[in-house]
Amino acid sequence: MYDTTKPYTKRILKLTRGCREDKPSSTDGIGTKGFYHWQKRTFRNAVLDALAMNLNDMALMRAKVHGLHNHIIIPEDDEGAIYEIVETLVCECLKRNILIKSGETSIHRNFPGLEISISVDGDYIQEKENIFKERDSIIGIGSSGLHSNGFTKVREVFSGEYRTEFTEPTLIYYDAILEIIKDFEINGMAHITGGAFTKLKPFLNGNDVVVSGSHSLSPQQIFYELYRRGISDEEMYKTFNCGVGFILSTKDDVESIVSRLSNFGFRADKIGEVVHGKGKIKINSMFSQKKIVL
């Protein structure tokens, strides 16, 4: 809840202390990516985006989701769109025994696109502090591309242009992660969303993460195009997932974990390690091989 990298987060958490439940929960939506989903009517992909943003964060909290609330915002009344969104949501929830507890649809006629905002709650299946420990291996799990972050920058760079990559859905790692943590000792995790690789910072406990520039999870071509259009190495890794959608930190058997993730259909590889340091993320850029520090 209110778990962001914004400087005012601590003040917000302090303000809400007396009316928060000490149980895992998540609230998120698809943001400005919804502009493209509405334009191209990729409603199923939009639902997967909204679910992924929440389920992946619940996996990060080592929590199983029990209930879901949703709010659909569209610029005009469209029965076909609403039905496809709800049908997809029901299908995905039934797969995971998630109850849809409530839902709302709003028609905002001055709204430029689609928004699907979802809230989920559940229970911890494993209570463990999320810390990247010195001498841990860092395992990256491949993304499907842009996922649902950085679209303000995407729209700025591409203006009125469209790429099919803009509506490719975010991968849902939730199911695989809940299985992985049962069988392997995972010390730290990070969902690479808004803020990209800076998402690791709260979990470093004074250590550094060094990310190699030679692992197999190469950025997809859309990232190289963004880079060629003038976005710096540092901004790329602070804004976009650059091919890595989720990260695990572990001293356990890397090959076995990578193999298990492969069984779930994910590309995965060791992308770096945790070393003694000062809470920095050091990355050998896949775009230029320059060394950048976040």
Residues 107 and 144 in one domain: no
The CATH number of whichever domain residue 205 belongs to comes to: 3.90.650.10
Q: What is the mean pLDDT of the chain?
A: 94
Residue 225 counted as domain residue? yes
Phi and psi at residue 76, to the nearest 5°: -155, 155
Residues 98 and 199 in one domain: no
SS3 83: helix
Residues 279 and 142 in one domain: yes
225, β-bridge pairs? none
Enumerate residues 6+ apart whose C-beta is below 8 A from 61: 24, 26, 124
Quick one: pLDDT band at residue 10, thresholds 50, 70, 90?
confident
Counting the structural domains of the chain, the total is 2
Residues 146 and 288 in one domain: yes
Domain boundary, last residue among 103, 124, 145: 124
CB of 32 closer than 8 Å to CB of 152: yes
| CA 67 vs CA 16, 102, 205: distances in Å | 22, 9, 32
Taking alpha carbons only, the member of 58, 57, 56, 82 closest to residue 70 is 82
Residue 5: per-residue pLDDT: 59
Residues 205 and 287 in one domain: yes
Domain boundary, last residue among 75, 97, 124: 124
Residue 19: per-residue pLDDT: 75
For tokens 């860092």, the residue is: 138
Q: Please state whether beta strands 63-74 and 137-142 pair in parallel, antiparallel, or not at all (unpaired).
A: unpaired
| CA 236 vs CA 31, 231, 239, 261: distances in Å | 19, 6, 5, 26
Quick one: pLDDT band at residue 22, thresholds 50, 70, 90?
confident
Residue 20, pLDDT above cutoff 80: no
Residues 113 and 157 in one domain: no
Which pLDDT tens digit goes with each residue over 58-106?
A: 999 999 999 999 999 999 999 999 999 999 999 999 999 999 999 999 9
CB of 277 closer than 8 Å to CB of 210: no
Residues 178 and 204 in one domain: yes
Residue 170, pLDDT above cutoff 70: yes
Residue 261 counted as domain residue? yes
Residue 108: domain span: 9-124
Which pLDDT tens digit goes with each residue over 206-256?
A: 999 999 988 999 999 999 999 999 999 999 999 999 999 999 999 999 999
Residues 74 and 97 in one domain: yes
Residues 196 and 57 in one domain: no
Residues 171 and 236 in one domain: yes
Domain boundary, last residue among 82, 101, 124: 124
Rounded-to-integer distance, Cα 118 and Cα 51, Å = 7
Residues 79 and 35 in one domain: yes
Q: Please state whether beta strands 99-107 and 63-74 pair in parallel, antiparallel, or not at all (unpaired).
A: parallel
Output 50 or 9, whichever has higher pLDDT.
50
Residues 102 and 159 in one domain: no
